[in-house]
Structures are given as C-alpha cells and as structure tokens.
C-alpha cells in the first residue's frame, strides 16, 4: 500500500521539479501502525524497531524500498523483543533486546543468522537491561546489572570475551552510571557512591582508570548532566550550594569549575537546558529571578555568559528546541503576546532576536523536531488547520511554509519523527492517511531532478540583488531559467540566459536551468 503525497493547489510544480513524501512500507497493515523507533544507518541500510502485528516488536531493516523493508530476525518468538538503543560498533550493531533471558546485550551483522545474544550478563529471566551505549574507539560503554554487582559501568567490543564490567563503582549498591559522554578519548559520566552521592566520574576503560573526577557538591548530590563539548571543553549542568548552574571541565579535577552563578538570587539555580552551538557561541536556556526562563549564551567565561534577550519581560519565554542553521539559532519561544509559542531566530544579539513567523496567529504552533537537511531547516508545527504537520524554512518569512498543502489524515506528525538522513533522503515516522504511524521518506525538489550536472552551466553573481546570468558549456545555450521557492512553487521564469530577481524577497531560492541540448541543472541562489 504505497501512498505518494505531492504539492497541490498552493504549490505548482513543473514536470521534473517535484518533491514528495512516500510511505516506504505499511509494515503493520491497517490503522494500527508499526510504531517504528530509532532508525540507524548501518552497512548500507536502515535498522530499526517495528511491530508488524505478527511477530511483535522486532529488528527490521530497509533499503528505502517497499520490497527491501524486511524483518531481520524474530528474536523473541513468544512475544516482543523490544529492540532498542541500536548502536554501530566494529562493523556490526549492538542493541538491547528481550527473549526468555530477559533484556540482554545483542549484536547483528544485518542477517538473521548473524543476529545473536552477545552475553547473558544477568542469567535468568530478569535480564541485565543494558542502556546508554556510548562508543569510544572500538568499545561501547553502557550501564547494566549483573545481579551481585548492581547497576554498574560495563564495556563491550561486540563479543562475549570483550564484554566486561569496567568497575564496581559502588560495592555497597548500585552506582547507576548515566549521562555517558565521550570526551577527549575518555568517558565522562555521572555515578553514585554512598560516600559522595551522585557525582562526576571519568574512565579510560580500565578499572584503575575509572575514578571520581570531582565531588562537586560535598554536602549533597552534584548530579552532573547535560554534557556538551564546546571549544575543546565539556560544559554541563550541576548542583552545588548555589543550586544547579553552568559548569565546565577539561577532564581534570582542577579544570572542573562553575562558570557562572547565573541565578544568585534563588538558591535552586538557573535550571539550564538545551545546549546548542551556533555562530561560535554556546546557546542555552536559563532562569533568573528577575527575567525568568530566557535565551542565554556563553563563550566559556563568566564575563561572556550573558542573556541574549529578555524575550518576554515579566514572564518566561522558555526557549526550546534550540537548533543551529546557517550561522543562526532557531527555536520556539513565546513573548507573552497573542502569538504564543512560535518560531524565533537569533544571531546572538538582542536586536536580531525576533519571531520569524507567527504560524498560528490565533493560538500556538509550537514548532519542534527541527532537522537541517539539504540546505534547509525542516520542523513540525501546527497552524490550526490539520494538526501537527511538516514545515520548512530557509530563514525568511516567505520561505517558511508548510510542505504539503492538502494531506489525508489529521496530525500526521503527531509522533516523534525519529529522523535519519539516508541516501540523500530524509526518513521519519509519520501517520499519513489510514496506515497508522509508519516509515516515510521525503525527497526534496532539487534531489528529484534526475541526471543533472552543475558543470553544464555557470550561474553568476550569487548572491544576487538584481540580474542573475547563466553561461552554458561549449556547444550548448540556455533555453530556459525557472526560479522556485524552496518549497516548490514557481516564482519567476525566463527564456534567455538572464533573469531579473529584483522583485523577489531576500532569501534562498532554487533555480533550474535547462539547455537546448536537454541538459538540466538545479542551483541554490541567494537573493540579497
């Protein structure tokens, strides 16, 4: 049951210049949906969890075609294997899966015969529940429970002999290692001991080299979390007597310190969230007693850690989904007006931090699930007509549009999309029509133009403000130039080697050039 969605009345598309969203396969026929999760690219295919209604939740693979989307192995014939945490390691994938032995560590080369349990870490039906796989070199670190040792730090190279507990960090109980993060060839993480509480740890993969890095809060739990590497340092959120604030480490005890007490007036700290790097700055959300939750940035120093803008004076703008695109930061926020939670953009200055577009003027669009793909920023938003749908922006108001003007079904992007880019297509989970939540793929307009070669033509100037000229390769000449908005609608056309773009709004456009010999090429043109 293959469904093809293309632009309708609002988006006029010429022959070879079309884009589409295709259902890859109706894995669970009917309205139930297979509930796909976690697509991962491995060995030329996508691997993911799906339930076809017959075998339960199992390991599947896809080459992007309906016939090439197949069950890899029915790991648990008696029920669901609940495959999760799929991670590429040493030419295989390792993952969590359940059978009669409970949740254990599994590995696969992509075939049924090559899919097997690596080790029964906790014998019996309870399972070791491995999670948090983090690859460093030829090992993946993870948390697991073996029974006597409790939840501790483990490592694997994908073989039984290469799977072992790194260290019993808390011999009197569970250390619950979490927030596992690769940094400078080592593992930084949070772990608990009876003596120190939940604090900052480091490991080189050996028992002797796994140690407490710093006891951040001597009188409580430091709870280090939200690690993000920036400018060679690892930034994170942690608690001390000042509440939870911005911290940094270089992997040494002396080099681990609080960057700034952002919210000194409140003892519970600034509640930092969502680190994202853009334009040479590290952006995040933080709270103060006077401004509430607003957009902040840091260059790694106390002096360079400042609020970008008080978007909602007297309230919380609560910027979220922070995403870097074309040197700027895009996010959702509310300024307290009727616009509610909408699409915002910032270049790190207060004057250039503004709402890009009020997508849902009478309520909120709550733009989220951002992903940069094919030179554009895609996201999910609601404009009040059909629930949560797919949107795209090139950073301009005119270039911020809904991808499909007329779709079957309500809120097709209601679920977390689980994006993955594979063979120049964007794959994601969605519910178009009556198929339930299934695997779909998006083919952008410029990728849908087959057989094009940019060396057939030269486009100049680019960026352009008025006239764009096109020269053809020797033995050819320009037959036609067509300019499209990034969402596919035709904007301008010329039957010569020049086209006037003076009347176009500033932003990114797609230009298709066709020669008299039948060759065609698509270019991105920036109108300034």
User: Is residue 15 situated within a structural domain?
Assistant: no
The Cα-based distances of 265 to 97, 219, 260 in angstroms read 47, 20, 13
For 296, residues 6+ apart whose C-beta sits below 8 A from its C-beta are 262, 272, 283, 284, 285, 286, 305, 306, 307, 308
How many structural domains are present in the chain? 1
User: Is residue 522 situated within a structural domain?
Assistant: yes
Is residue 200 helix, strand or coil?
strand
User: Is residue 486 situated within a structural domain?
Assistant: yes
Is residue 313 helix, strand or coil?
coil
Question: Is residue 7 over pLDDT 60?
Answer: no
Percentage of residues of the chain with pLDDT beyond 90: 75
Question: Is residue 76 over pLDDT 50?
Answer: yes
User: Is residue 479 situated within a structural domain?
Assistant: yes
**pLDDT digits over 473-509, tens only?**
766 789 999 888 766 667 889 999 999 999 888 888 8
pLDDT value, residue 452 = 39
**pLDDT digits over 229-270, tens only?**
999 999 999 999 989 999 999 999 999 999 999 999 867 899
Question: Is residue 19 over pLDDT 80?
Answer: no
- What 8-state DSSP symbol labels residue 250? S
User: Is residue 509 situated within a structural domain?
Assistant: yes
User: Is residue 208 situated within a structural domain?
Assistant: no
| Rounded CA separation 59/51 (Å) | 9
Q: Which domain does 499 fall in, by range?
A: 454-527
Q: pLDDT averaged over the chain? A: 90
Question: Is residue 193 over pLDDT 80?
Answer: yes
User: Is residue 123 situated within a structural domain?
Assistant: no
Per-residue confidence at 205, pLDDT binned at 50, 70, 90? very high
Name the residue with higher pLDDT: 399 or 379: 379
User: Is residue 406 situated within a structural domain?
Assistant: no
Question: Is residue 274 over pLDDT 90?
Answer: yes
Per-residue confidence at 445, pLDDT binned at 50, 70, 90? low
Per mean pLDDT, which range of 163-177, 182-196, 404-418, 435-449 is the poorest?
435-449
| Domain CATH code at residue 470 | 2.60.40.3080
**pLDDT digits over 89-107, tens only?**
999 999 999 999 999 999 9
Question: Is residue 5 over pLDDT 50?
Answer: no
């Amino acid at each position: 049951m293959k469904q093809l969605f293309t632009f309708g009345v609002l988006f006029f598309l010429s022959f070879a210049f079309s884009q589409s969203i295709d259902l890859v396969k109706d894995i669970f026929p009917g309205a139930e949906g297979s509930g796909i999760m976690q697509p991962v690219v491995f060995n030329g295919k996508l691997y993911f969890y799906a339930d076809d209604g017959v075998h339960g939740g199992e390991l599947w693979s896809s080459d992007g075609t309906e016939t090439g989307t197949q069950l890899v192995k029915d790991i648990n014939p008696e029920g669901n294997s609940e495959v999760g945490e799929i991670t590429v390691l040493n030419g295989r994938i390792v993952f969590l899966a359940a059978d009669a032995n409970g949740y254990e560590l599994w590995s696969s080369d992509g075939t049924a015969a090559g899919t097997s349990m690596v080790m029964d870490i906790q014998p019996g039906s309870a399972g070791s529940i491995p999670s948090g796989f983090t690859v460093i070199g030829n090992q993946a670190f993870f948390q697991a429970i073996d029974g006597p040792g409790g939840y501790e730090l483990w490592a694997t190279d994908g073989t039984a002999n290469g799977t072992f507990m790194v260290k019993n960090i808390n011999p009197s109980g569970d250390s619950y290692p979490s927030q596992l993060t690769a940094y400078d060839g080592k593992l930084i993480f949070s772990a608990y001991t009876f003596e120190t509480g939940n604090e900052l740890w480091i490991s080189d993969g050996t028992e002797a080299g796994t140690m407490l890095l710093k006891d951040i809060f001597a009188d409580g739990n430091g709870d280090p979390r939200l690690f993000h590497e920036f400018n060679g340092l690892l930034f994170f959120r942690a608690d001390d007597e000042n509440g939870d604030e911005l911290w940094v480490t270089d992997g040494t005890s002396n080099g681990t310190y609080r960057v700034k007490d952002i919210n000194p007036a409140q003892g519970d700290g600034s509640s930092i969230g969502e680190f994202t790097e853009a334009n040479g700055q590290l952006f995040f959300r933080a709270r103060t007693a006077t401004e509430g939750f607003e957009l902040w940035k840091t260059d790694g120093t106390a002096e360079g850690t400042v609020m970008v803008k008080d978007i909602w004076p007297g309230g919380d703008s609560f910027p979220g989904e922070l995403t870097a695109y074309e040197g700027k930061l895009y996010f959702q926020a509310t300024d307290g007006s009727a616009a509610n939670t909408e699409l915002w953009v910032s270049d790190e200055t207060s004057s250039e931090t503004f709402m890009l577009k009020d997508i849902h003027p009478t309520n909120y669009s709550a733009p989220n699930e951002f992903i940069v793909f094919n030179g554009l920023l895609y996201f999910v938003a609601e404009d009040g007509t059909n629930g949560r749908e797919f949107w795209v922006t090139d950073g301009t108001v005119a270039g911020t549009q809904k991808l499909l003007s007329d779709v079957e079904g309500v809120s097709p992007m209601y679920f977390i999309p689980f994006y993955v880019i594979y063979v120049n297509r964007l794959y994601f989970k969605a519910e178009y029509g009556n198929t339930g939540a299934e695997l779909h793929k998006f083919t952008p307009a410029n990728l849908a133009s087959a057989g094009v070669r940019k060396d057939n033509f030269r486009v100049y100037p680019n960026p352009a403000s008025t006239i764009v000229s096109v020269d053809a390769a020797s033995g050819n000449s320009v037959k036609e130039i067509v300019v499209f908005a990034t969402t596919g609608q035709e904007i301008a056309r010329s039957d010569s080697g020049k086209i006037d773009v003076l009347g176009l709004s500033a932003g990114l456009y797609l230009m298709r050039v066709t020669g008299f010999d039948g060759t065609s090429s698509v270019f991105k043109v920036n109108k300034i």
